[in-house]
A = this chain, B = another copy of it.
Amino acid sequence: MTYGLGMLLDAGLVLVADTRTNAGVDNVSSYRKLHCLAHGPDREIHVACSGSLSASQAALGILLEGHRPDGEAIPALEGAGSMFAVAGIVGEALREANRRIDQALAPVRKAAACMLVGGRVGDGPPRLFLVYEEGNFIECKSDAPFLQIGETKYGRPILDRTIRPSTPLPGAVKIALLSFDSAMRSNLAVARPLDMMVMPSDRRQPTFVTRIEKDDPYFNTLSARWSDLLVEATMAVPDPDFMCAGVAARPLSVVAVTSGT
């Protein structure tokens, strides 16, 4: 499966992807899914992929070679005047890659990829987009300052409760790692190493990428400490009144099934 997460904060952009790919639990391997498509003074473009690995690699191949498999040129990322235009070009490549692979696999099964595209062009601020399988896309806005692809559910509760546009980058990175930890605990199709890209809004600070390895001691400590803190937080919240000893909050009776009450 995979899990990809993008956060667009006042302080900058964070993109994270795991590396697990699988064709069943008996056929598992590790592939980078966070890629840098452009890195220069006028543009930085990064993508995180989920779904069919062959589809996402085909889309990236189209983008980097600048033409479809049939030879027809696609617009160059280097010439895009905005991140909106970049998302459109990535969408075009992804739609073409998904269409070809889906046609080939149609008798057997469905396969497609989708992507998070983040970066900046010219003097613009960092922007973040989710490009769907069909090539259409949405942009991340401050009402919901993150976007997810792949195994999105297990990792989402902590994001809903803690990520705000004002969250500082170090805090956002910790929350991103905890979100991945939640996904990895419950879904074997998400696993370390994780790849992370952090692009501060402040241009004086450099963008950087890092890899969290399988045995990363910081990640292990974060995960263990977090579990302890959750248990402590549970105890810090007062017990509900109805748990006071001996209180039967409602008399017991065999419920009529169809009453709906």
A: residues with CB less than 8 A from B are 30-32, 35-39, 44, 57, 60-61, 64, 153-158, 160-162, 169-171, 173-175, 177-178, 182, 185-186, 198, 205-211, 218, 222, 225-227, 229-231, 233-237, 239-243, 245-250, 252-255, 257-261
Contact = CB atoms under 8 A, between A and B. Distances in A.
Most chain B CB inside 10 Å of its own CB: which residue of A44, A206, A257: A257
Given A205-B245, A229-B233, A32 B174 contact: no
A217 to B, nearest CB: 10
A157 B178 CA distance: 10
A170 B236 CA distance: 12
B37 A254 contact: yes
Closest CB pairs A-B (n = 9):
A153-B153, A210-B249, A157-B182, A229-B233, A170-B239, A60-B257, A208-B248, A161-B227, A170-B243
Contacts of A245: 205
A231 B164 CA distance: 10
A209 B161 contact: no
A205 B248 CA distance: 9
A22 B222 CA distance: 39
Contacts of A206: 246, 248
11 contacts: A32-B255, A32-B259, A161-B185, A161-B227, A162-B231, A170-B240, A170-B243, A173-B240, A205-B245, A208-B242, A229-B236
A39 B254 CA distance: 7
A50 to B, nearest CB: 15
